[in-house]
Amino acid sequence: MSTNELEAQKISKSYTIDDRQIKVLDDISLLVSKGEVVVIEGKSGSGKSTLLSLLSGLDRPDSGKVIVNDRDITHLSEDELAPYRNRTIGYVFQSFHLVPSLTALENIMFPAELNNDPEAMEKAEGLLNRVELIDRKNNFPHQLSGGEKQRVAICRALVNSPQIVFADEPTGNLDSANGEIILNLLLELRSELDTTLLLATHSREISNLADRIVLLADGRIESYTDKVPE
């Protein structure tokens, strides 16, 4: 088995809007090693979120392959992808995407319950404790602030101890103070759980923390930077 945990081979993706085809990603190839922190940088509309959704198996490329742990996930069916999404990856979205009908605790427990984890509740409560939201565990998403929602979303992404965490602009909807808290939390937890992290952002602050930076422009990789100079 190679040390590459995640590999994208010449992936492309287009969307059709009003009979117009827009190419969002064009011929992207990428290798991510275990434990790496990779930041995908680019302007708004450069294709960062699309790239993350393809790498995480939430969407399917029009062409090319996505290989995770030496397994091509590109053509897996929805049901074959389900366990991969549940156990191998965790996803933190810019818009949080908490299930509105579930409480904070239930949202975090949900992936663990799907995994039939008997300790789902203990783990979820432990994570809530860790992010200092245990007293809000019975609150519904609409009763939480933006920063609280994102902390819950991070807990949910990590509850099954995934190998890879994808975070799509995790601080994009937060003020700078909350953004900083979230970012630190994400990095701390990643470090504690020894997880690979792929982060899409246009924030230089986050980029400073990366092992590698991939710069996207108009759906293509403009540059790779292995280590950001101090």
By C-beta, is 150 or 212 nearer to another protein?
A: 150
32, 93, 127, 179: which one binds another protein (CB under 8 A) = 93
3-state secondary structure 138-194: CCCHHHCCHHHHHHHHHHHHHCCCCCEEEEECCCCCCCHHHHHHHHHHHHHHHHHHC
Q: Which stretch binds another protein (CB under 8 A): 66-74, 93-101, 125-133, 202-210?
A: 93-101
The answer to whether 38 and 55 have CB atoms below 8 angstroms apart is no
Q: Which of residues 71-90 bind another protein (CB under 8 A)?
A: 78-79, 82-87
7, 39, 41, 53: which one binds another protein (CB under 8 A) = 53
By C-beta, is 99 or 193 nearer to another protein?
A: 99
Residue span 96-135 as binding mask against another protein, x where in contact by CB under 8 A, dash where not: -xxxxxx---x---xx-xxxx-------------------
CA 162 to CA 213: how far, in whole Å? 22
Q: Does 179 bind another protein (CB under 8 A)?
A: no
Tally Cβ neighbours within 10 Å of residue 1. Answer: 6
Terminal-residue alpha carbon distance, the chain: 34
Give the type of residue at 179. G
Q: Does 147 bind another protein (CB under 8 A)?
A: no
Q: Collapsing DSSP states into helix, strand and coil, what is residue 37?
A: strand
* Count of residues touching another protein (by CB under 8 A): 32
Q: Does 95 bind another protein (CB under 8 A)?
A: yes
By C-beta, is 53 or 196 nearer to another protein?
A: 53
Q: Does 91 bind another protein (CB under 8 A)?
A: yes
26, 31, 45, 59: which one binds another protein (CB under 8 A) = 59
By C-beta, is 39 or 157 nearer to another protein?
A: 157
DSSP labels for 186-222? HHHHHHHHT-EEEEEE--HHHHTT-SEEEEEETTEEE
Q: Which stretch binds another protein (CB under 8 A): 30-38, 64-72, 91-99, 124-132?
A: 91-99
Any residues with CB less than 8 A from the CB of 54 and at least 6 apart, and which?
Answer: 8, 11, 13, 25, 60, 61, 66
Phi then psi for residue 214, to 5 deg, are: -110, 125
Q: Which residues bind another protein (CB under 8 A)?
A: 15, 49-50, 53, 58-59, 78-79, 82-87, 91, 93, 95, 97-102, 106, 110-111, 113-116, 146, 156
